[in-house]
Structure formats: C-alpha cells, structure tokens
C-alpha cells in the first residue's frame, strides 16, 4: 500500500540591488540587497500563495482529522522575510505544525551551494544555523534533511548522516536508479541513511504541467490524480515541489486550489492509500537497495545535475570567487561581513546566470529579476568585487 508523501520547499532569495562597476570600492554603506524589491515580491507571494495555501492546508488537516499529512522546508532567508515583512505567515506555519500532521525538514539556512565546497565546514555551519532556527520557531529537531534543490552525492549523504539525520531527500532520476523505482527508500553506498526519492513524473504533473493546456493530462482533476496514485506500485509516492506551485506558479484561476482542496478526500477514497510525513516515511519503511552517486545530482532543470548553477564559465567564476574568500571572511570575525557573505551564497544568484537554452531557459527567465544571465553575472560579479574590496 503506497503512502503519499507531500513535501513543499518554501524559499525566497534576497535579490540584489543594481550595482555597477562604478560603485565598486566607493559605496561603503550601500546595501547589496534590494529591500524594496524583496518586500514587494514577498508580500505578493504571501498574499497569492503562502497565506491562502496555509489556511487551506490547515482546514484540510482538520477536516480529515490528521489523516492528511504534509512536510515543509523553510529556508532561513524565507523566515527572515516573514519576520521582517509579515510575521503572520510564520504564525500560520506554527499553527500547521501544532496539528501534529506536519513535519519540518532541515537544510542549509541560506539555501546555498556550500555542500559543493572543498571542505564541509561552511555547510555544517549553515545546517546548524537552520537547526537553531527550527528549534527556535517550532521547538523541534528535524530527522530528515534536504539539501538545496535536492543536490546530492555520496559525500553529502555521508556528512548528513554524520550530523545525525536519519533521512535525506533527492531526485528519483534514472541516472542513479536505472531500472529501479523511485517509490521505495534506498540506502547510500557510503553510509547508513534512508534516501527519499522524488517521483518526478507525478510531482511535475502538478508542479509544472498543471496549467499546461497542451499536456494530455490537462485538466488535472483531484480524482484523476488520486487514481494515478492508486495504480502506483511501491511503498511511497514522494510528491515534492515548490510551495509557490499553489497560487503563484499556477494562479488561482487555473483551479490549483480547488485541486488541492479535493485531492486528500479523493486519495483517501482509495483504502490502500494514506498520507505520511517524511519522518513517518523513514520510520515506517525499510530500504530496498543501495544507490551510488559519485557526481552530484539535483532536481533542477532537465539535466538533473548541478549545471543549473555551475553550467558555464561565468557561474563557475562567481562560485569560486565567493568560495575562495570564505577563510578570510571568517577570520575577520565580523558578523555582518559573514552574514553578507552567506546571503550572497544563496543559490538563486547563480541560477540567474544560467545560459541554458530551450525550455529550461524559459523557467530561468520566469524567476530572474535580470534582463538575462549576462546582466545577472555583471551585477553579481560587481558586488563580489566590491565585497572583496571591503576585505583587503
């Protein structure tokens, strides 16, 4: 009997101010982060997605008496925005958590690429920051970890196990599974940990395709979707997606909220289906095999690797610049410098610099505050140069 495991990534990056080469080294008090833009976007998404979806989920959990169960990961930058601009969003997440039908997932506080650095100290620091934040907000210690955009390899799995987590989330890609199904738990070859794999077909049916009129599955109704679940084999159907799927990537008019409202009821009509949180999933089910991932995978773009952030020379240059000043930054012991350095590590800044073409490019364009990857690079690199100026 497969269990449905719904998990939502909740993240907003700190978008940058316009910063030209002429600003490098001469605007010491000028913020790198565009507070107004970030506030405007955050309030818009909160109104369209976070608040209405939280309300709906709370109602659904009550309506089905806790049988409808979900999990969240909230990034540190997201929580900072909530606390600055609209604290009732955090309150509503607390309400949800109190029901007992909601689990919280760990990750790096800054939604960064620190897991790809040469040594793992910075990664560990950022995970600990997130752990403290979850403890502070929910008085809870997560058991399951999800790295930035599900970036995963053997090394990361080992580190995460060492830090005491029992489960980790990544993409159910054929690259690592070959013929095997994503609807089971697996064990990393390097360590003792349970790996939850995203069922990308069923996840993307909602996340990407829900409002695509060209898709044969359109319109996707709750009973149709539930019937696909009912026909699925395996222990676990992992439906992992951006939380902004609801009301933001797909607007209210597409019927996404009606879909969500009716889905739990339709799923529970099938006696052999139920819902679990990520923690319950790893407590209930056993691993069925091993996965070996020497090269990092992720759930991003069609390539399902890290080329989304490190796919061209510009991205690699920025990544290295930022990474290489880490030691110096930490030596200063200046909390403001360290915080700025970490905010600049948020993976979105590199995502905007991706030059991938075709359909992925369209997705990048949708999310980017820049007129294309080259403007994204110039702005980010100018800021990195200015930041270096402050150091030397």
Partner 1 sequence: MRVAMIGWEYPPFKAGGLATHCYGLTRSLADKGIKVDFYMPKTKHATGSEKDNLNIIEVGETEIFPYDRPDNKELAGQFFEAVYRYNDLVVSKVKGNYDVIHCHDWLTMKAGIALKYKTNTPLVLTVHSTEYDRSGWLYPNQWFIDIEREGMEKADRIIAVSHFTKRVIVEKYGINPDKISVVHNAVYPIPEGHKKDIVLFLGRLTIQKGAEFFLRAAQKVKDFEPDTQFVVAGIGDMLPRLITQALDLGISDKVIFTGRLTEDEVKHIYGISSVYVMPSVSEPFGITALEAISAGTPTIASKTAGFSEAFNNCLRVDFWDTDEMANKIISLIRYKPLHMTLSKEGKREIDLFTWDRVADKTIEVYNGVK
Residues that bind partner 1 (CB under 8 A): 20-22, 312-314, 316-317, 355, 357, 361, 371-372, 374-375, 377-378, 381-382
Decide: residue 13, CB within 10 A, 0-12 exposed, 13-18 middle, 19+ buried.
buried
**Closest CB to partner 1 among 140 and 374?**
374
**Closest CB to partner 1 among 221 and 355?**
355
- Least distance to partner 1, CB of residue 283, Å: 47
Annotated catalytic residue within 9, 106, 122, 149: 149
- Least distance to partner 1, CB of residue 34, Å: 17
C-beta separation of 99 from 132 below 8 A: no
Residue that has been written with the tokens 């951006």 in this structure: 242
**What SS3 string covers 86-126?**
CCHHHHHHHHHHHCCCEEECECCCCCECHHHCCCCHHHHHH
Report helix, strand and coil shares of the chain as percent, to nearest 5: 50, 15, 35
Residue that has been written with the tokens 């897991």 in this structure: 115
- Least distance to partner 1, CB of residue 389, Å: 14
**Closest CB to partner 1 among 286 and 359?**
359
**Closest CB to partner 1 among 259 and 370?**
370
What sign results for the dihedral spanned by CA atoms 384, 386, 390, 392? positive
**Closest CB to partner 1 among 295 and 374?**
374
- Least distance to partner 1, CB of residue 373, Å: 8
- Least distance to partner 1, CB of residue 298, Å: 21
Is-catalytic flag, 149? Answer: yes
Distance CA 86, CA 182 (A): 38
Query: Smallest Cα–Cα separation from 4: which of 206, 275, 267?
Result: 275
Catalytic residues: 149
């Amino acid at each position: 009997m497969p269990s449905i495991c719904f998990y939502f990534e909740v993240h907003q990056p700190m978008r940058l101010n316009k910063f030209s080469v002429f600003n490098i080294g001469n605007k010491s008090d000028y913020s790198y982060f565009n507070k107004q833009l970030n506030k405007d976007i955050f309030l818009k998404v909160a109104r369209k997605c976070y608040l209405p979806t939280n309300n709906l989920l709370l109602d659904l959990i009550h309506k089905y008496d806790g049988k409808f169960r979900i999990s969240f990961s909230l990034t540190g930058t997201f929580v900072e925005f909530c606390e600055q601009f609209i604290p009732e969003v955090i309150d509503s997440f607390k309400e949800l958590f109190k029901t007992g039908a909601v689990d919280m997932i760990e990750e790096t506080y800054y939604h960064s690429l620190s897991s790809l650095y040469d040594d793992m100290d910075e990664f560990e620091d950022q995970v600990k920051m997130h752990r403290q934040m979850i403890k502070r907000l929910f008085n809870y210690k997560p058991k399951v970890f999800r790295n930035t955009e599900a970036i995963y390899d053997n090394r990361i799995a080992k580190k995460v196990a060492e830090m005491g987590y029992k489960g980790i989330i990544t993409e159910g890609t054929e690259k690592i599974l070959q013929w095997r199904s994503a609807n089971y738990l697996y064990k990393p070859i390097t360590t003792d940990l349970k790996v939850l794999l995203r069922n990308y077909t069923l996840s993307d049916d909602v996340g990407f395709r829900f409002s695509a009129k060209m898709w044969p599955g359109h319109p996707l109704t709750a009973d149709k979707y539930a019937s696909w679940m009912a026909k699925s084999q395996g222990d676990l159907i992992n439906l992992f997606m951006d939380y902004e799927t609801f009301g933001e990537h797909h607007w209210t008019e597409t019927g996404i909220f009606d879909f969500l409202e009716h889905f739990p009821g339709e799923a529970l009509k099938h006696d052999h289906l139920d819902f679990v949180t990520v923690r319950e999933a790893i407590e209930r089910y056993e691993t069925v095999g091993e996965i070996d991932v020497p090269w990092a995978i992720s759930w991003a773009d069609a390539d399902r690797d890290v080329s989304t952030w490190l796919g061209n020379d510009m991205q690699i240059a920025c990544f290295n610049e930022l990474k290489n000043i880490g030691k110096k930054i930490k030596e200063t012991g200046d909390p403001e410098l360290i915080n700025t350095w970490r905010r600049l590590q948020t993976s979105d800044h590199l995502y905007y610099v991706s030059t991938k073409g075709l359909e992925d490019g369209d997705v990048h364009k949708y999310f980017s505050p820049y007129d294309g990857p080259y403007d994204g690079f110039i702005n980010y690199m100018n800021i990195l140069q200015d930041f270096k100026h402050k150091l030397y």
